[in-house]
Amino acid sequence: MIKLYSWTTPNGRKVSIALEEMGLSYESLPVNIGKDEQFAPSFLKISPNNRIPAIVDGDVTLFESGAILMYLAQKSGKFIPDYGSEQYWKMMQWLMWQMGGFGPMLGQAHHFLKYNAGTSAYAEQRFHSEAKRLYGVLDRHLAQSPYIIDTLSIADFAIWPWASRFEWHQIDLNAFQHVKRWYLELAARPGFQRGYKQPLDAGDVPLV
């Protein structure tokens, strides 16, 4: 059984949603980052960067959510196109877009707009503007595609949990109708709902 070390963050929920949708057996082990449990020596052995999520699957230990998603997709044979196909590379570019932009920039929006509001007007404006730009990029793409690619994939699992914090980004999803359509469709899936509530139930999926 896969051991998932995680917390109720977008990066953590990427993996629990993937595990639920793939139907893989796993044990959910909370790492409370509010109590700095990610810095425990025992967790450092699993995740050298002291960040969640991480998994242990037999002799395989992995950290970094993107790597974990790719591993699970290969293990299950689900939610990943054939290697080298056009759809594979399309999925990969959007997965990297999330890892390099939609996640880090929205994480900065969380820091300045939600947790440290009023400390830096410049930072709030900068990261709110970038959040709106990124939602616009996603909205234009989803105007042409039902999911991130033609079918549901690990790219959706990576991006959706960050969009689920649209309120933290001060984003009105009604201004991004294609993101809203995609977001609500995935929010209605039982696998997404179960994965969202791992490693503990912090409340229902936010709806528009």
The pLDDT tens digits along the chain (208 residues) read 999 999 999 999 999 999 999 999 999 999 999 999 999 999 999 999 999 999 999 999 999 999 999 999 999 999 999 999 999 999 999 999 999 999 999 999 999 999 999 999 999 999 999 999 999 999 999 999 999 999 999 999 999 999 999 999 999 999 999 999 999 999 999 999 999 999 999 999 999 8
SS3 call for 5: strand
What's the confidence (pLDDT) of residue 158? 98
Residue 57 per-residue DSSP state: E
What's the confidence (pLDDT) of residue 208? 85
Task: Report yes or no: 16 and 6 within 8 Å, Cβ to Cβ.
Answer: yes
SS3 call for 70: helix
Q: pTM of whole model > 0.85?
A: yes
SS3 call for 6: strand
Nearest CA to 14 among 139, 206, 155? Answer: 155
Task: Report yes or no: 34 and 27 within 8 Å, Cβ to Cβ.
Answer: no
Nearest CA to 179 among 130, 129, 145, 128? Answer: 145
Cα–Cα distance for residue pair 101/107, rounded to 1 Å: 10
Nearest CA to 147 among 207, 91, 206? Answer: 91
